[in-house]
């Protein structure tokens, strides 16, 4: 199974779970290089997302730090290589 950051050509979710643009790198944190630091209590200094894709079928996932307390959420894109126009994401719990 081939897993990459970001997405492969031809199998691109049209947007992220919150409607934002997915960067080609798959990393949506500020800074150069993009980073996020976590404190001992799990808190973080930045919000952002990391996107992964399984390249054979185009299954895409997003792991998002959604608040400064360090809460993370994981989302799966409802599309794949055969359904590239799909725009919905489902939260994975």
In tens digits, the chain (93 residues) has pLDDT values of: 688 888 776 677 888 998 888 888 889 888 888 888 899 998 998 899 999 988 888 889 999 998 889 899 999 998 887 887 888 999 997
77 by Cβ neighbours in 10 Å (0-12 / 13-18 / 19+) ranks as: buried
Q: What is the pLDDT of residue 22?
A: 87
Is-contact 91 49, C-beta < 8 A?
A: no
CB 60 within 8 A of CB 52: yes
Interatomic CA distance for residues 42 and 68, integer angstroms: 9
pTM over 0.75: yes
């Amino acid at each position: 199974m081939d897993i990459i950051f970001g997405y492969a050509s031809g199998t691109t979710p049209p947007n992220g779970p919150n409607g934002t643009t997915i960067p080609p790198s798959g990393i949506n944190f500020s800074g150069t290089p993009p980073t996020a630091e976590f404190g001992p209590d799990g808190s973080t200094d930045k919000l952002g997302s990391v996107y992964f894709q399984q390249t054979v079928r185009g299954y895409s996932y997003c792991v998002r730090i959604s608040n400064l307390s360090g809460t993370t959420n994981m989302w799966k894109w409802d599309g794949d290589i055969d359904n590239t126009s799909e725009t919905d994401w489902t939260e994975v719990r």
